[in-house]
């Protein structure tokens, strides 16, 4: 298991599809300032949060944009919930999370902390975890899209990811050059020192 930590990169208005051999095989035009991207295995679609357009682009298996969904102000992070099949999108300047169902309709809006950026699904407890960059906290919402816990951290939380191998959540702290490790009880059990300004984080299931 390896967790990959990186710095934010915001392209102008294109999504690059990269083949296994690490070469670009397709460039997909979307709307302004695409930032977050997530895969929905239920429908084999990719969802892209367009930060500058307040929309989410839906891309099918043929690399064609098949839908554009209006969401909140400045969407940023996006994640798939394997329990209900919905997509969750953080809206940076609305302080909300938009919930998109299998018909590509926003069916719920969850109020969270100030400046939500990252979002991830915890497959162990079924909850969604959202990093609130400005209010320096994490919001935890349950299967009913109700915030059931708020975790205050020291630093500016940005990325968040679930590690199924240990049933922990990993949170990058942009200002602290570190990654927090939260256990199943939402308690910080470790702090990992990393490089300068960590932002996004991803779980790599193919590396032991």
Query: In which band, very low, low, confident or very high, does the pLDDT at 157 lie, cut at 50, 70 and 90?
Result: very high
- 36 vs 47: CA distance, rounded Å: 8
What mean pLDDT do residues 164-168 have? 94
CB 102 within 8 A of CB 86: yes
The first and second tokens of residue 195, run together, are 């490089």
Q: Model's pTM, two decimal places? A: 0.89
CATH topology of domain 30-193: Methylamine Dehydrogenase; Chain H (2.130.10)
Cα–Cα distance list, 55 to 74, 100, 138, 156, 159 (Å): 8, 12, 23, 25, 20
Please report where in the chains the tokens 């599809």 appear, as a residue: 17
The more confident residue out of 22 and 111 is 111
In sequence order, the β-bridge partners of residue 98 are: 89, 109
Which tens digit of pLDDT belongs to each residue from 167-200?
999 999 998 899 999 999 999 999 999 998 899 9
What mean pLDDT do residues 73-100 have? 98
Query: In which band, very low, low, confident or very high, does the pLDDT at 20 lie, cut at 50, 70 and 90?
Result: low
Which tens digit of pLDDT belongs to each residue from 22-59?
778 888 999 999 999 999 999 999 999 999 999 999 99
| Spans of all domains in the chain | 30-193
Give Cα 10 distance to the centre of its chain: 14
Which class for 144: exposed (0-12), middle (13-18), buried (19 or more C-beta within 10 A)?
exposed
Query: In which band, very low, low, confident or very high, does the pLDDT at 2 lie, cut at 50, 70 and 90?
Result: very low
The more confident residue out of 135 and 18 is 135
User: What single DSSP character describes residue 20?
Assistant: T
């Amino acid at each position: 298991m390896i967790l990959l930590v990186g710095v934010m990169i915001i392209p102008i208005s294109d999504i690059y599809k990269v083949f296994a051999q690490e070469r670009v095989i397709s460039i997909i035009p979307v709307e302004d300032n695409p930032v977050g991207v997530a895969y929905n295995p239920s429908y084999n679609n990719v969802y892209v949060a367009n930060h500058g357009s307040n929309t989410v682009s839906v891309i099918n298996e043929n690399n064609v944009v098949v839908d554009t969904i209006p969401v909140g102000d400045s969407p940023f992070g996006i994640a798939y919930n394997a329990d209900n099949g919905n997509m969750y999108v953080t809206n940076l300047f609305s302080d909300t999370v938009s919930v998109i169902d299998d018909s590509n309709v926003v069916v719920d809006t969850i109020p969270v902390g100030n400046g939500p950026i990252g979002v991830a699904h915890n497959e162990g407890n079924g909850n969604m975890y959202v990093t609130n960059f400005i209010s320096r906290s994490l919001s935890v919402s349950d299967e009913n899209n109700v915030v059931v816990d708020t975790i205050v951290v020291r630093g500016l939380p940005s990325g968040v990811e679930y590690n199924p191998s240990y049933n922990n959540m990993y949170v990058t702290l942009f200002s602290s050059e570190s990654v927090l490790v939260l256990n199943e009880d939402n308690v910080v059990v470790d702090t990992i020192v990393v490089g300068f300004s960590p932002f996004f984080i991803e779980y790599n299931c193919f590396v032991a």
